[in-house]
Amino acid sequence: MSEKNNVAEIVSMIESLTVLELSELIKELEEKFGVKASAPVAAVAQPVAQGAEAQGGEEKTEFDVILTDAGPQRIKVLKEIRTITSLGLKEAKSLIDSLPKPVKEGVSKEEAEKIKKTLEDLGAKVEIK
């Protein structure tokens, strides 16, 4: 297989990852190679977001549920995060320890509202974007 095919295959694999999986991948790469990827990722994400806003007028059909604060009942929120995402204990704890983080992405407005209400009922602070 040529180098070009290898790169295309890797890009294809990365495209299929969820944001949580991509976040874990970036973290692993940072640890393995002793680098920090946060600045370039932010620089790329901003123009993409601005491009979406420039299109305007389109009704949003997919929403992201962002946990901004776990609140006083962290253990109950942690358990609910595991139920919502199917993450393991370590991954769910890591998510809660590094807020704000997306809990679920690309969901319907109804599902996003349901998740938000469930987490807020436990004292967490949640945003829908």
Q: What's the Cα-to-Cα distance from 50 to each of 24, 66, 99, 109, rounded to whole Å?
A: 25, 19, 23, 22
Report the C-alpha gap between 89 and 69 in whole angstroms: 18
Same domain, 97 and 120: yes
Q: What is the pTM of this model?
A: 0.52
C-alpha span between 84 and 90 (Å, rounded): 15
3-7, 8-12, 73-77, 104-108: which has the minimum mean pLDDT?
3-7
Q: What is the pLDDT of residue 46?
A: 47
Q: Are residues 78 and 117 in the same domain?
A: yes
What is residue 13's predicted lDDT score, i.e. its pLDDT?
84
> Residue 38 has what pLDDT?
53
Give the pairing of strands 101-107 and 63-69.
Answer: antiparallel
pLDDT score of 39 more than 50? no
Single residue among 9, 24, 57 that ends a domain in this structure:
57
What range defines the domain where residue 69 resides? 59-129
For the chain, the domain total comes to 2
3-26: average pLDDT: 80
Task: Examine the domain organization and report whether 115 and 70 are in the same domain.
Answer: yes
